[in-house]
């Protein structure tokens, strides 16, 4: 099976100080081009009602780069990728309802990309028009490099490589599960297995608070404040890396053990509006978990499906009775119809699995609509 869906291979670069400054200049040039393209597009529309296309902007940028040394040193395809980001931000605003594109401040624009021409040896990575950079390889690379992204992180420079390679599907497994995600338990499967929430952010919260106090006590604009900010950023990155590592190991195991996996479709962005639970929800990382399950299922020939989350906890997984009086505080309940004893999370996971299989029809769905239609039908 050919895979070109964005397999990221992180390579931690260890550039010399000269290379670090050069990478910083390239990043600054890309940020300047991003802001210039965004400003140009906004100005043309606000003053002349003209919507300029991506190709037209790229042609004008090419002429600007020829006359400007610090822009001309950047590879042309890297500059084209910057304009692609501008128009992707506009598409996100008009088609997906995201926020209007904003100008990138220093520290917010953190990466630039190469679409082709990247070569790798045992000690160096050859970047087009940049030269050789020494690196430390974190894992074995196999396949054809399709795209490379250089990113500045709190603890140094990294490179993510998108490669095209052949991945053999895993042997067919007879198992299929439904997954109910949560905060106290990260996930509960329809088989009754429970994965506890590691709470990566809460475990590091004491150290993060201490580092944040250190930043607040330093004078603004001082070198000591910049050092304190870097220490805080490195700790936040460590928390994110720990969470991501845990998610990769967990999702790989779930994909390997099950042929079919189903989860509930949650509006996580809306749930984050609850300020009492927002930090816990963000720390759980539900979105990243489901994204990994989705693309790994495609890699290895598994089935992954999202189903509606409506009434998955209220419906009895045995007879279909809907307990509308069930509150969030109730973790175990007995079905009034068939006397089945349910763990709330396991019952929800079973309903999620049944919905994915297309066999979830509750007694409420069968009988209640008839009564509603009879009550609301207009008089003739």
- Please indicate whether residue 191 is annotated as part of the active site: no
Q: Which of 81, 264, 283, 315 is catalytic?
A: 264
Residue 264 · residue 180 · CB < 8 Å = yes
Distance CA 90, CA 100 (A): 7
Beta strands in 156-311 (DSSP E): 156-166, 176-181, 185-189, 194-196, 260-265, 303-308
- Please indicate whether residue 180 is annotated as part of the active site: yes
Q: Which of 81, 283, 315, 345 is catalytic?
A: 345
The CA-atom distances, in angstroms, between 47 and each of 41, 91, 102 are: 10, 21, 19
Based on C-alpha coordinates, what's the Rg of the chain?
26
- Please indicate whether residue 155 is annotated as part of the active site: no
Q: Is 154 exposed, middle or buried (0-12, 13-18, 19+ CB in 10 A)?
A: middle
Residue 243 · residue 237 · CB < 8 Å = no
Q: Residue 77, Cβ neighbours under 10 Å: how many?
A: 14
Residue in this structure with the two tokens 């963000």, named with its chain if needed: 282
Q: Which of 180, 191, 245, 257 is catalytic?
A: 180
Q: Which residues pair with 265 in a beta bridge?
A: 308
Q: Which are the catalytic amino acids?
A: 180, 264, 345
């Amino acid at each position: 099976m050919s895979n070109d869906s964005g397999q990221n291979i992180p390579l931690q670069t260890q550039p010399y100080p000269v290379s670090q400054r050069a990478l910083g200049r390239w990043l600054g040039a890309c940020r300047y081009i991003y802001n210039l393209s965004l400003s140009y597009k906004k100005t043309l529309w606000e003053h002349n009602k003209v919507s300029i296309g991506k190709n037209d902007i790229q042609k004008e940028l090419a002429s600007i780069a020829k006359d400007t040394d610090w822009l001309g040193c950047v590879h042309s395809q890297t500059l084209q990728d910057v304009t692609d980001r501008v128009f992707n931000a506009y598409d996100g605003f008009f088609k997906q309802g995201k926020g209007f594109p904003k100008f990138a401040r220093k520290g917010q624009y953190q990466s630039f990309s190469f679409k082709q021409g990247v070569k790798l040896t045992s000690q160096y990575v050859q970047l087009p028009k940049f030269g050789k950079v020494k690196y430390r390889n974190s894992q074995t690379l196999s396949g054809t490099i399709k795209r490379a992204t250089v990113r500045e992180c709190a603890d140094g420079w990294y490179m993510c490589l998108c490669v095209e390679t052949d991945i053999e599907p895993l042997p067919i497994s007879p198992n299929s599960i439904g997954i109910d995600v949560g905060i106290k338990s990260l996930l509960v499967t329809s088989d009754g297995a429970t994965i506890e929430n590691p709470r990566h952010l809460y475990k590091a919260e004491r150290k993060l608070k201490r580092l944040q106090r250190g930043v607040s006590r330093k004078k603004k604009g001082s070198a000591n404040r910049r050092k304190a900010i870097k220490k805080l950023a490195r700790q936040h990155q460590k928390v994110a890396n720990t969470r991501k590592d845990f998610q990769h190991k967990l999702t790989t195991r779930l994909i390997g053990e099950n042929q079919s996996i189903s989860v509930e479709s949650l509006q996580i962005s809306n749930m984050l509006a609850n300020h009492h639970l927002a930090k816990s929800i963000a720390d759980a990382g539900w979105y990243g978990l489901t994204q990994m399950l989705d693309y790994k299922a495609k890699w290895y020939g598994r089935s992954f499906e999202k189903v509606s989350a409506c009434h998955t906890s209220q419906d009895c997984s045995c007879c279909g009775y809907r307990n509308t009086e069930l509150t969030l505080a109730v973790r175990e309940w007995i079905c009034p119809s068939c006397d089945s004893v349910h763990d709330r999370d396991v019952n929800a996971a079973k309903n999620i699995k049944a919905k994915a299989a297309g066999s979830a029809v509750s007694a409420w769905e069968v009988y209640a609509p008839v009564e509603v239609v009879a009550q609301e039908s207009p008089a003739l």
